[in-house]
Amino acid sequence: MSSINKSFFVIVSMLSLLAFSSNAQLSPSFYARTCPKLQSIVRTTMRQAVATEPRMAASILRLFFHSCLQGCDASILLDDNATFTGEKNALPNINSLRGFEVIDDIKTNVEAACDATVSCADILALATRDGVVRLGGPSWIVPLGRRDARTASQSAANSQIPSPFSNLSTLITAFGSKGLTARDLIALSGAHTIGQAQCQSFRNRIYNSTNIDPNFATTRRANCPISGGNSNLAPLDLVTPTDFDNEYYTNLLNQRGLLHSDQELFNGGSQDALVRTYAANTITFLKDFAAAMVKMGNISPLTGTNGEIRRNCRVVN
Ligand code: HEM
Ligand SMILES: *[C@@H]1O[C@H](CO)[C@@H](O)[C@H](O)[C@H]1NC(C)=O
Ligand SMILES: *[C@@H]1O[C@H](CO)[C@@H](O)[C@H](O)[C@H]1NC(C)=O
Ligand SMILES: *[C@@H]1O[C@H](CO)[C@@H](O)[C@H](O)[C@H]1NC(C)=O
């Protein structure tokens, strides 16, 4: 690298640090003295939850994604009531997000060990990592020190969480507006190697698209009729729905992406080569996924004296 290129690189790195400067305050050892058992409590509770229902790892992972797109401050966990409207009933979330009871269980166990110390936002970040690990995915070190929101915005959730009917450029723009690159988008979408989707999320794709394997479409139509059965489930990865592997990308190469937005990642566009790379190389995928998860976990956290440590993840203190 020439010295001009080097200083350019340094300046760009500094700018990106400044742009997301609140990240710098998160630290893996944040609770080392105040709640030394935190990580083992979360791990134990997640191990039980995923043993009971493997899909729970997927549901918690999605909860973390939808939470972090609005800032990783656990605003998504707040219940609506007569005077408060939060994110839970936003269109991408209602009758679809799951796992709130598991987060409640973990919170109860953490509170019993370390009263009013650990945020719901950090519990969600740790639980997400531990769920992925239980299904055979990569591990990563989770930076901690997030605090919990005292508000939530349903309208922001409606407008900022990408829809399964989006095209590639819309997805790249949506992730870009959160500081995530196209490469992050492709790596993070590998989360769809686990979990389930409802018929209403993929009906149009299996009846109306041309970039789909006809046998796959036929199989999926069997449990997703043209009308009715909106909540019938199908696995996002038809091959290994409870293994966190790179099969998702192989499915895309075979035109077996379940969601329209999945197949958009491999449809003759700018990211085809990267999809091929991840399909061919598990290690590269798992490494990029873990790095992108840390990056996603750094989106606009509340730190310092902002926000609060919620006692009950469902209500503001
Ligand atoms: C790229 C844009 C994305 C779109 C449009 C999208 C959309 C969806 C949709 C529509 C579902 C099924 C919901 C239902 O039918 O109830 C789903 C499920 C899921 N999504 Fe995504 N998603 C995206 C990215 C991500 C990312 C980045 C992650 C995590 C890093 C993620 C994790 C999951 C998981 C794990 C499930 C299964 C949840 C379960 O079984 O409970 N998704 N997604
Ligand atoms: C993608 O979708 C957006 C919003 O629906 C639309 O404006 C845009 O033209 C589409 N882009 C392509 C390349 O199809
Ligand atoms: C297929 O597309 C047509 C035209 O856009 C639409 O009217 C129809 O409802 C779609 N069918 C399904 C099953 O989504
Ligand atoms: C409604 O929820 C908000 C946000 O959690 C909370 O501050 C408020 O106390 C709740 N109101 C009632 C009546 O429970």
Same domain membership, residue 248 and residue 276: yes
Q: What is the pTM of this model?
A: 0.93
Q: Evaluate the CA torsion angle 23, 99, 305, 159 in order and state its sign.
A: positive
Separation of CA 262 and ligand 1 centre (Å): 10
Contact status, residue 55 vs residue 63, Cβ threshold 8 Å: no
Please identify, by atom number, the ligand 3 atom nearest to the C-alpha of residue 206: 13
**Whether residue 66 lies in the annotated active site:** yes
Q: Whose CA is nearest to atom 14 of ligand 2?
A: 167
- Name the residue range of residue 89's domain: 3-162
Give distance in angstroms: CA of 186 to centre of ligand 2.
18
Decide: 275 and 252 in contact? Cβ < 8 Å: yes
Among the candidates 138, 162, 186, a domain finishes at 162
Q: Are residues 244 and 104 in the same domain?
A: no
85 Cβ inside 6 Å of ligand 2? no
Q: Of 129, 162, 195, which residue sits at a domain end? A: 162
Tell me the DSSP string of 61-112.
HHHHHHHHTT-SSSGGGPPPBTTB--STTSTTTTTT---HHHHHHHHHHHHH
Compute the distance from residue 263 Cα to the ligand 1 centre, in Å: 13
Give a yes or no: residue 293 inside a domain.
Answer: no
Encode the chain (317 residues) as per-residue pLDDT tens digits. Answer: 333 333 333 333 433 444 444 445 899 999 999 999 999 999 999 999 999 999 999 999 999 999 999 999 999 999 999 999 999 999 999 999 999 999 999 999 999 999 999 999 999 999 999 999 999 999 999 999 999 999 999 999 999 999 999 999 999 999 999 999 999 999 999 999 999 999 999 999 999 999 999 999 999 999 999 999 999 999 999 999 999 999 999 999 999 999 999 999 999 999 999 999 999 999 999 999 999 999 999 999 999 999 999 999 999 99
Catalytic position from the list 55, 62, 66, 147: 66
Instruction: Give Cβ neighbours of residue 234 (< 8 Å, ≥ 6 apart).
Output: 196, 197, 199, 202, 220, 223, 224, 258
| Residue bearing the CA closest to ligand 1, atom 25 | 189
